[in-house]
Amino acid sequence: MIQSYSKYVAVPWRNDAAAAQRVIFCVYNETEELRLRAKIDEFEIATRAVGHEWALFDLTDTFPNWIASQRYAKSYFQKPGLLPTLLPKYLTYIETEFTTFMQDRGTDENFVVALKGVGSLFGFLKVKEVVDKLAPMAKGRLLV
């Protein structure tokens, strides 16, 4: 996967690409998740080797951090059936955290912003929903 990514990220980037065209999906078997996480630095090395910048946004703990910040968090644990009504706010939380992350790092058109921990969204949000919200904020490339 690293070799394929290295070749892809080395191709000159078009400045007029739409947000959806700037998303790079790394598709892998779910059993490879831990191995991929352990090698995430190789993606950064490959990115920097071709002259692009790198930023890593970790989604892994966003759900527990978000739910813990909710006023009635305990009631959602007692009655999980209430949670679906609150999940749109989780997406807003991710969007806000991502915006802050991007601003803090001063990302621009030369950055690959990688999303780590996408598997932690399953059961709460669709990956497509999250990518559709975050892709326009990544002026360079969004790696999922």
Digitized pLDDT (tens) for each residue of the chain, 144 residues in all: 899 999 999 999 998 999 999 999 998 888 888 888 899 999 999 999 999 999 999 999 999 999 999 888 888 888 888 888 889 999 999 999 999 999 999 999 999 999 999 999 999 999 999 999 999 999 999 999
The radius of gyration of the chain's CA atoms, rounded to the nearest angstrom, is: 16
- The residues facing 36 across adjacent strands are none
Enter the tokens of residue 139: 């002026």
Tokens 């892994």 identify what position?
Answer: 60
- Sort strands 23-24 and 141-143 into parallel, antiparallel or unpaired: parallel
CA–CA separation, 16 vs 114, rounded Å?
21
